[in-house]
Amino acid sequence: MNLLITIFGGMLLTVLIYAAARGLKLSNFWAAVAASALPSVAYVIYAVALWPGLDVLTLHVIAYPTVAVLLYQLYGGKASIQQGTHWAPKLMIGFFVVITVLYGGFVYIAGQGLPPALARLLLPGAENKNIHTGFAGVVAHGEDAAKEVGHHLGMEAKLHKLGWRLEVSGLDALTPQRSGSVEVRVIDPDGQGVDGVPVTLTLRRPGQDAGEVVTLAGLGGGQYQAPARLPATGAWLAVLGLRAGDEYISLERRVGGE
């Protein structure tokens, strides 16, 4: 599910639950408790089933109670309709709303990049180019980045030792909206296709290990194919795995995102 829907839709749901609870004559305190607890528990259950990352989970379980607390402060029993709300609660409400919007925007851009229309507007020369605007901090970096580079070079060395080269197509066309076809051709030093090679495709988020493994079907002539689609919007890593005897080769490629 899209982050913008879960965070801002959940905040709107918090407001609606609070209003419904007050309509049922619950006290201001218990209306705020219900408005805070119900969306938070629902999202935690959802997050356990489809783990979005600790940063995204934290954002949600902070945002929903924050809205509930602000409603509690705004419509507390001490507030008088005739006197109006003091400027201090208004300032606090505005501050937390701005912080929540900024935090939510940063988390969204970090994992999924700028929306395409906004990227074309803000980034010069972005037309007809595959530009990734996700934050570098959500992928392996520092010492881990060096390990990733070493791993990639090691896999390339294994391919070179076997004398194989790969032709891959269809990865850049994958979207969450519809399935696409990923094709891999394994070619030997003589330019002939290599059959009987187990080829798999795994799609996972950068910095995360989990991912569904898809086995590509052999079509003959060294050609392997399987239908695939991105589980959600944003940046993903496509990991191609090949096995030749005791050797296992895995190659990563960034797909999706803007």
Instruction: Tell me: do 107 and 144 sit in the same domain.
Output: no
Instruction: Tell me: do 97 and 152 sit in the same domain.
Output: no
117 falls within a domain:
no
Domain that holds residue 154: 138-256
pLDDT over 70 (residue 186): yes
pLDDT over 70 (residue 195): yes
* pLDDT for residue 30: 92
pLDDT over 90 (residue 72): no
As to burial, measured by CB atoms within 10 angstroms (0-12 exposed, 13-18 middle, 19+ buried), residue 11 is: buried
Instruction: Tell me: do 91 and 143 sit in the same domain.
Output: no
Domain boundary among 74, 96, 112: 112
Instruction: Tell me: do 250 and 142 sit in the same domain.
Output: yes
> Which one-letter amino acid corresponds to residue 68?
A
Domain boundary among 77, 112, 147: 112
Instruction: Tell me: do 182 and 232 sit in the same domain.
Output: yes
Q: Are 193 and 186 in contact (CB under 8 A)?
A: yes
What CA–CA distance (Å, rounded) separates 6 from 12? 10
Compute the residue count for the chain.
258
Instruction: Tell me: do 248 and 167 sit in the same domain.
Output: yes
DSSP 104-142: HHHHHHHHH-S-HHHHHHHSTT-TTS----S-GGGS--T
Identify the helix (H) or strand (E) that includes residue 228.
strand 223-228
pLDDT over 70 (residue 65): yes
The domain total for the chain is 2
Show the tokens assigned to 118.
């906004």
What CA–CA distance (Å, rounded) separates 103 from 117? 21
Average pLDDT over residues 237-254: 84
Show the tokens assigned to 124.
């010069």
Average pLDDT score over the chain: 77
Average pLDDT over residues 116-131: 66
Instruction: Tell me: do 105 and 182 sit in the same domain.
Output: no
Residue with tokens 């409400």: 93
pLDDT over 70 (residue 239): yes
102 falls within a domain:
yes
Instruction: Tell me: do 178 and 217 sit in the same domain.
Output: yes
Instruction: Tell me: do 89 and 157 sit in the same domain.
Output: no
Average pLDDT over residues 73-79: 65
CATH number, residue 206: 2.60.40.1930
What CA–CA distance (Å, rounded) separates 11 from 67? 7
- DSSP letter at 209 equals -
What CA–CA distance (Å, rounded) separates 220 from 163? 19
* pLDDT for residue 224: 94
pLDDT over 60 (residue 118): yes
Domain boundary among 56, 78, 112: 112
131 falls within a domain:
no
Three-state secondary structure along 233-244? Answer: CCEEEEEEEEEE
Residue 64: other Cβ atoms inside 10 A: 26
Instruction: Tell me: do 56 and 153 sit in the same domain.
Output: no
118 falls within a domain:
no
What CA–CA distance (Å, rounded) separates 15 from 22? 11
- For 203-230, the pLDDT digits (tens) are 887 766 667 788 999 999 999 999 988 8
Handedness of CA 72, 78, 81, 83 (dihedral sign): negative
